Chains A and B, each alone.
Chain A
């Protein structure tokens, strides 16, 4: 509840700064529309905005799922096979080094103007943080736990150690990766829409921009921001519930 109040206060502060910039700078609406015009536009176009937000949301969620699956698979392979480390690690790093923006037009031509190319871009954007974080977690299983396993169950199989010890120990790290992924996945989806689409918030923004409906552009931006923040908190909340042993530690060290 306290968090909600703080969020509202931040929001009010931002709106105030926004209105202040518009009023003091005497900015015309095509440079920066005032918050009220955006609110009116948001209200008046709620239907189409929600429809496009649904498309973008679906792209983000599917991209998250695919990216997480691929990322987890890659991290496991990296953690448990020297061969994979040798071959996959350069690919992993390249996947982050190549600006998605540069290959976005190609992805659209290969995968078409539908959902496919957007999901691919969201997947590409989150693949690295998920893989890197999970792999890091897998590499840093506490030594003592592994020793304990060896002592308690002599001759225990590698997969059993992996399943019962290494993966649970690495889950908090994977959680960090997923939080980052939740924050950046919308970038991938909207980027895909920007390059070519017939639906989604990115498409709607392009459309508004070329028709000089800057207030509508900002309204779509707000919806996108709300979607991204909502996704982040949803992921954060489910991670806290699924990994109680992780969230317990940092909460107690936080000072207010």
Chain B
């Protein structure tokens, strides 16, 4: 009994002490931990190139990039003070902040939507309306349903007209195995190439062409209590440099991208790289408030979030170092 008590007390003290210890022990040195949204892929071009080409070091930053097990985790880890910056998606940012997460967008990596509704080109689905009574795979509850609902509405269908299946990010396999007729959440720069290479080309429907207001697919978030940290401005400035380098020297940038990621040096990533470059945010720090506001209103109207908060609650434009 005494042992049990001791174990419980130990666990309790650990649970109580751990979060505090994390929040306090954050010295304002040059080290910065950044958690990606997913395994390294061309969406992270600016981050990887900034790392490999020394743009972070030039800003006196020692950046450590980490990969999560689940793309829903990184913003929570920023909220809990376990990492400094996380890569996440603009729609998730709205959902997270409405749920009380103390995070704010500080930069943009990819400034257009990437998410798309994809079916197989040689399959029965030729238009969105063909989805009636068919199965649609998705991975992110809430937002992706709202996307689909909007796209279906434009084609005269209701969300009840399709069967939704959570395929938990196994998008291409689900489509190729014909377990679903279409997937929402497929990235146009990645999954479309993946399907193409599997000799089963996909047919993409783009949300922003089907009634969904445009948004930033990949954004960078930080804890709102740490926005005065000068490292963040230097971090975004380094990304600006890296993005311009990417545009000016695409071949050298590709070499730098695969230098330490040999597993990425394949046809799929080369194609994805080509399709991603035009979508990278040219001005990573810039915040388009009207666009964020419009998107928040869309999410609120769709019932994904309860209320469209003021943009300043969840996004900032950081002062850049001189």
Q: Contact between A25 and B99 (Cβ–Cβ < 8 Å)?
A: no
Mostly helix, strand, loop or mixed at chain A's interface?
helix
Interface residues of B in 162-180 (CB under 8 A from A): 163-168, 170, 173-174, 177, 179-180
* Residues of the A chain whose Cβ atoms lie less than 8 Å from the Cβ of B290: none
Closest chain-B Cβ to A10's Cβ sits at a distance in Å of 11
Contact present for A17 and B165 (CB under 8 Å): no
Residue contact B8 to A109, C-beta cutoff 8 Å: no
Does A20 count as interface, using CB distance less than 8 angstroms? yes
Inter-chain contact B170/A108, CB cutoff 8 Å: yes
- Contacting residue for B12 out of A20, A27, A113, CB 8 A: A20
Shortest C-beta distance, B55 to chain A (Å), equals: 33
> Smallest distance from the beta carbon of A193 to chain B beta carbons, Å?
8
Q: Which segment, of B72-80, B114-122, B264-272, faces chain A?
A: B72-80
Q: Does B27 lie at the interface of the complex (its beta carbon under 8 Å from any beta carbon of A)?
A: no
In contact, A211 and B142 (Cβ under 8 angstroms): yes
> What separation, in Å, do the CA atoms of A27 and B180 have in the docked complex?
40
In the assembled complex, A198 has its CB within 8 A of some CB on chain B: yes
Interface contact A105-B173, CB-CB below 8 Å: yes
Distance, CA A24 to CA B137, complexed state (A): 42
CA distance A203 to B142 in the complex (A): 13
Q: Do residues B72 and A25 form an inter-chain contact, with CB atoms below 8 A?
A: no
- Check A21/B16 contact, CB under 8 A, given A113-B165, A198-B164, A212-B96: yes
* Residue in A29, A109, A211 whose CB lies within 8 Å of B174: A109
**Contact present for B179 and A30 (CB under 8 Å):** no
Q: Which of A27, A203, A211 contacts B166 (CB 8 A)?
A: A203
Partner of B100, one of A17, A30, A195: A30
Given contacts A25-B15, A206-B141, contact A196 B163 (CB under 8 A): no
Partner of B19, one of A25, A108, A110, A206: A25
A residues 1-28 touching B (CB-CB < 8 Å): 17, 20-21, 24-28
With contact pairs A20-B12, A113-B179, A198-B163 given, residues A29 and B95 touching in the complex (Cβ less than 8 Å): no
Min C-beta distance of A102 to chain B, whole Å: 13
Known A-B contacts A25-B19, A30-B79; the reply to A212 vs B95 at CB < 8 A is yes
Assuming the contacts A109-B179, A197-B165, asked whether A212 and B101 have C-beta atoms less than 8 A apart, the reply is: yes
Minimum CB–CB distance for B204 against chain A, Å: 21
Contact check, A210 vs B72: say whether CB atoms are below 8 A apart.
yes
A196 in contact with B100 (CB, 8 Å): no
Chain A residues with CB under 8 Å of B137's CB are 113, 196
The complex places the Cα of A208 from the Cα of B95 at a distance, in Å, of: 12
> Does A98 have its Cβ within 8 Å of any Cβ on chain B?
no
Q: How far is the CA of A113 from the CA of B19 in the complex (A)?
A: 39
Q: Are B179 and A198 in contact (CB under 8 A)?
A: no
Chain B residue contacts of A195, Cβ below 8 A: 168, 170
Residues of A within 8 A of B (CB): 17, 20-21, 24-31, 105, 108-110, 112-113, 194-198, 203, 206-213
- Beyond the given pairs A113-B167, A197-B166, A211-B99, 13 more chain A to chain B contacts, judged by CB atoms under 8 angstroms and listed by A's residue number, are A21-B12, A21-B16, A24-B12, A31-B79, A113-B135, A113-B165, A196-B137, A196-B170, A206-B141, A206-B168, A207-B141, A209-B141, A210-B72
B interface, CB within 8 angstroms of A:
8, 12, 15-16, 19-20, 72, 76, 79-80, 92, 95-96, 98-102, 135, 137, 139-143, 163-168, 170, 173-174, 177, 179-180
